[in-house]
Structure 1
Amino acid sequence: MDQIRTDAPTASPEVGVLERIRLGASELSEAMSKVADQVLVDPEAAARATIMDLAELSGTSPGTITRFCRHLGYDGYAALRVAIATETGRASARHETGWDVNIGQEIAPSDPLDQVLKQLITIDAAMLRDTVDTLDLAAVERVAAAVSDARRVDVYGVGSSATVARELQMGFYRTGVAAWVWTEVHDALASAALLGEDDVAIAVSHSGTTAETIEMLSEAGTRGALTAAITACPEAVLAEVADVCLVSSARRTSHRADLLASRHSALLVADLVHIAVAQRRFPEALEALESRARAVVGHRPTPDLRTGAS
C-alpha cells in the first residue's frame, strides 16, 4: 500500500505543480510514480481526465491518485486538475466545467452574503464533483443488492453524520426495507449484537475515525452482517473494518462551509444507495409508497376551491 509522507510538499504558487512532480519523482512509491509519469507525459490530458480515467491511463487505482494528490499538498483530485490546467494554459477549462477560481478560498467575517453564497456553491459543487469522480459504483451496487435482500438493516452515525444516517434510514423505510437508525452507542451496540448473516449495517462518518461509530460497525461485522462505510477517508479505521467502503469527497477550510459541503457529498452517496435499492425492489417500493399515502390521506388539508389554497 502506498504510504503518505508526513513531510509531503504543500501546494505552492511559486513552484509549478509539474516541476514539483519532476523534482519529487524519486521520493514516490512505485504506484505513485506511474501516476507522475502519466501526468508529465500528457499534462493536458490529465487536466481533462476524471480520477477514474487517470487511474486507468496510469495502470493504478483511484486510491493511488488520491494519495498522489495529498503527497503534493492538494485536498483532492479536483484541486490538482485545476493546478495542472492553469499551468498548461487551460485555465478556461475551469469555467467550461463549472469550476471557479476561488475554490478553497476562505470566507472572511466581513464578506457580503452574495459572495458567501457563491463560495458555498463553489465548495459544494467541487465536493460533489469529486464524489462523482471517486465513487465506486460497483461497491454501491453490492451494498444495494445486500440491502434489498436483507432481513434488517442498521444505520449508524453520531454528531453531524447522524443527519445523513437518518436520511438514509428514512429512504430505506419509505421503500419497505426493515431499517433502523442508531445515533447513540449503547442502543446501537445492543442492536448490532442481534444482527446476523442475513443483515446489513451501514456506518456514516466523515472522518472515519469516530470511535463510537467504528465500535458499532465492528460489532455488526463480528455478528456476520455485511458492513459498509460512507466516509471521506478511505484510509481511516472505519473503512478498514468495513466490508465495503463508499467514498464521498472532503475539502478543508477554516470555516463550516467544508462541513456543510461534506455532508451534502455524503447525502449524495446515501441517496444513490437508497435509489439503487428502490430500483431493485420497485414493486415492493411502489406498494410501500402507495400504502403510506393511503394511510395519511385523511390528514391532508382539504383545498379551498375558491382560492386553491390548502
Structure 2
Amino acid sequence: MDIFSTLQEEKARLSPSETRIADILLNDFEFAVNASIIELAEKADVSPPTVTRFCRRVGCDSFADFKIQLARTAYVGMRYIRPEPKSRNPGDVAQDIVTKAQNALFLLHRSLDLAALEEAAEKLARAEMIYAFGSGGNSSMIASELQNRLFRFGLHVTASSDHSMQLMMTAAAKPKDVVIGSSFSGRNMELVRSFALARETKVTTIALTQANSPVAQSADIVVPIDLPEGNNIFRPTSTRIAYLAVVDILASLVAYAVQPQAAVTLRRIKQQLVAHRDGDDRQLLGD
C-alpha cells in the first residue's frame, strides 16, 4: 500500500478536517510517523474518531495499521514525498543536466581503477565469445552499448537483458569466453547467479558496478563506479554517462589491443555505409 498515492487519488473528496490531517502528513511527515492518535488529532484540530475515519479512507484498518504503513513509506525516502523544488526554465534545466554530466565524468576520471580497466580490456580482446549482460533501464542499455562498440572490431559478442537467457548463455559459455555485466545498484542477484555459474566453469567475469556490492564480490574483475546522485528525482541519473564513458574506455583499449583486426573490420563496415547510405566518408567514424 502507498498511502501518498491514495491521498492524491482521494484528495478532492476529503473533508476539511481530513484535508488538515493530510496536510500534516505532507508537510510534517516526521511528526506524523511518531505521533499518537491524540497528538495527531490535536495538531490537526480534529477529534480522534476523525483520525480513525481518515485512516480507513486511505485504506488502513486502524490507526495502528496506518502507523505501520507510514513507517514503510519512510523507507522509500522523503525525496519522493516532498521533492525539492526545481526551476522549469529550459536554460536552467539544460545547465543542470550538462553540469551534472560533466561532474560525473570528472569524478569518474579521478576514481578510475586503471589496472582493472587494463585487465578487463585484455580479457575482452582475447575472448573467443563475449556475453554482455544487464537488466533494467540503464544496465540493459549498457549491455547493448558494449555489443555495439565491440562487434565492429571483429569480436564475437552478444548482449542480453533477460535473466533466463543470461543464465542459459552462461551455462553454454566456455573457459575462453568472457561474461561482462553491468549493475548500477550492484544488487542484481540474477547477475550474481550468472557470475557464480561462470566461475564454476572457469569463465572470466567482469563487473561494471558499485564497489563492494554483491555483484562486485561475485566477479573476477571489477571496474568500480561509485558516484553521488543528489536528490532531484526528476533528473535522469548522470551515473549512466559515467558508465558509457567506461564502455568507451574499454572499447578503445580493446581496439588498440586488436588493432590490425579492428582496422580491417571497421573499414569493411564503413565501406558499406558509404556505398549504401552516405555517399562519402564525411559522416561519423565508426557508425
TM-score, structure 1 length as denominator?
Answer: 0.59
Residue from 117, 121, 141 that aligns with 1:163: 141
Residue from 127, 132, 148 that aligns with 2:104: 127
Offset, 1:220: 2.2
Cα RMSD of the aligned pairs, angstroms, is 2.0
Change (3 A) 1:297 1:276: same
Verify the 8 A CA contact 1:195 1:224 in the aligned structure 2.
no
Cα distance in 2 for partners of 1:119, 1:257 equals 12
Cα distance in 1 for partners of 2:234, 2:242 equals 12
Residue from 172, 193, 213 that aligns with 1:194: 172
Once the two structures are superposed, residues 131-155 of structure 1 have per-residue CA deviations (whole angstroms, 9 ceiling, x without a partner) of: 1111111111111111111111111
Verify the 8 A CA contact 1:192 1:223 in the aligned structure 2.
no
Verify the 8 A CA contact 1:204 1:230 in the aligned structure 2.
yes
Aligned to 2:91: 114
Once the two structures are superposed, residues 91-110 of structure 1 have per-residue CA deviations (whole angstroms, 9 ceiling, x without a partner) of: xxxxxxxxxxxxxxx86354
Aligned-pair identity in percent equals 25
Does residue 222 (structure 1) correspond to residue 200 (structure 2)? The answer is: yes
Does residue 184 (structure 1) correspond to residue 186 (structure 2)? The answer is: no
The count of residues paired between Structure 1 and Structure 2 equals 197
Offset, 1:297: 4.0
Verify the 8 A CA contact 1:148 1:277 in the aligned structure 2.
yes
Cα distance in 2 for partners of 1:257, 1:192 equals 36
Verify the 8 A CA contact 2:134 2:161 in the aligned structure 1.
yes
Change (3 A) 1:213 1:131: same
Secondary structure at 2:143 match in 1: helix
Structure 1's unaligned 5+ residue stretches are: 1-105, 304-310
Secondary structure at 1:300 match in 2: helix
Secondary structure at 2:227 match in 1: coil
Could you list the structure 1 runs, at least 4 aligned residues long, displaced by more than 6 angstroms after superposition.
none
Secondary structure at 1:154 match in 2: strand
Once the two structures are superposed, residues 6-28 of structure 1 have per-residue CA deviations (whole angstroms, 9 ceiling, x without a partner) of: xxxxxxxxxxxxxxxxxxxxxxx
Change (3 A) 1:302 1:202: closer
Aligned to 1:248: 225
Change (3 A) 1:297 1:110: closer
Verify the 8 A CA contact 1:120 1:257 in the aligned structure 2.
no
Which structure would you say has the larger Rg?
A: 2
TM-score, structure 2 length as denominator?
Answer: 0.64
Structure-to-structure mapping, 1:1-310, within 5 angstroms:
108-159=85-136, 160-231=138-209, 233-256=210-233, 259-300=236-277
